[in-house]
Amino acid sequence: MIMNQKKNNVKVSLWRDRPILSFSDKQIMKKNVFPSGRQALTAALCHMGLDRSSRVAVPEWSSHCVLSAIAKVATPIPIKEVVNCSISVDSILLYSQWGWTPNIDWTEYHSIFGDIPVICDEVDSAHMLDESMPYIQAHYEVRSLSKTLGLKSGGLLKYNGKYVEFTSDKNHKNLDITGFTDVNTIVRNTFLKAEKIYLDEEVDIWLDNNDVSAALLHESRLRRCNVKNIIDSHLASTWKEWMIQSFNRGIAPGLVPLYIGYDRNDLLKIKSELARTFNIETSIYHFNISECPWVVDYKQCLAFPVHGLNNKVEEIIQFLKYE
């Protein structure tokens, strides 16, 4: 590894932490924006008419916020148990990890799960594929505007290709959680924010002056440029063929898995060097290398940001050439 370089640039966080500005005609209106991606997920279950007796199949290792959003309405059950024990469910959540939307075999899906409503968890995805889903009569898609555009909060919900409207409760705004000044920040963000039933003021102002569709398109192009550079380098040598195929279909993930299957100590060394040299945040996570969302295979890797604020990808590729 080249050790004599020193960059003093602005820090690149794991996810975009500054919003895109996009001044154009609005295609996605403010009425289509939910307070958060997790609230959009809960709204999808309500839209289906589910209740506590309803079962929703969820991916293994789902985050607390996902499980909490589902548990507000229905009962989450791991997909693995649903498949292995032939448990009847009312809906299924398919997660595109970091925006890596897999090439799902919908015929196989239908043979296992039938025609139950499917929720595609695209919270990290900047792309809008609008792909055909044979056999699926009710299809929902959830996206986070904080993960994709760097906004403070915000989410989108699509039902069979059309955006669902969110109704804000202005009276509830008097209960803004900013009044809880002594509450731990993590607690506020994780629990209290999820209960807001109106748009955050900063997001409200941004929506008045920007177009969500244009911003997502711009972010998608920036991400795909970064991913293309990695695909054309040695850093994609541990990627599966389905990942390249998904990229060719038009996906725009926010993170990419580097050095899949490497030893943790080696990953820690690379992580440290990238932070020191480029002031860039990476993390050691596990990535599902399986193309099938209901038969997972998680491998340790270095999660590397490719969002639109990372303009250092080409330099980093050269830096890691000798690693």
pLDDT tens-digit map of 266-284: 999 999 999 999 999 999 9
Whether 6 shows a pLDDT value over 60: the answer reads: no
Whether 16 shows a pLDDT value over 80: the answer reads: yes
Task: Categorise residue 286: left if φ over 0, alpha if ψ from -120 to 50, beta otherwise.
Answer: beta
Q: Is the distance from CB of 37 to CB of 123 less than 8 angstroms? A: yes
Which of residues 176 and 60 earns the better pLDDT score?
60
Query: By three-state DSSP, how is residue 95 classified?
Result: strand
The CATH code for residues 30-210 is: 3.40.640.10
Please provide the average confidence, as pLDDT, over all residues in the chain.
86
Lowest mean pLDDT among 99-103, 191-195, 224-228, 260-264: 191-195
In whole angstroms, what is the distance from residue 33 CA to residue 203 CA?
A: 10
Q: Give the confidence band of 97 by pLDDT, cuts at 50, 70, 90.
A: very high
Q: Is the distance from CB of 274 to CB of 115 less than 8 angstroms? A: no
Place of tokens 């399986």: 290
The amino acid sitting at 202 is E
Whether 262 shows a pLDDT value over 90: the answer reads: yes
Whether 42 shows a pLDDT value over 60: the answer reads: yes
Provide the pLDDT for residue 169: 54
In whole angstroms, what is the distance from residue 124 CA to residue 33 CA?
A: 16
Query: By three-state DSSP, how is residue 23 classified?
Result: coil
Residue 39's closest CA among 69, 64, 62? 69
Instruction: Tell me the per-residue pLDDT of 135-148, one tens digit each, with 9 for 90 and over.
Output: 577 789 999 999 99
The percent of residues in the chain predicted with pLDDT above 70, rounded, is: 83
Cα distance between the two ends of the chain: 5
The ranges assigned to domains in the chain are 30-210, 213-322
Provide the pLDDT for residue 248: 95
Tokens of 289: 């290398």
Q: What is the dihedral of CA 222, 155, 212, 312, to 10 degrees?
A: -20
Rg (CA), the chain: 20
Lowest mean pLDDT among 2-6, 38-42, 87-91, 184-188: 2-6
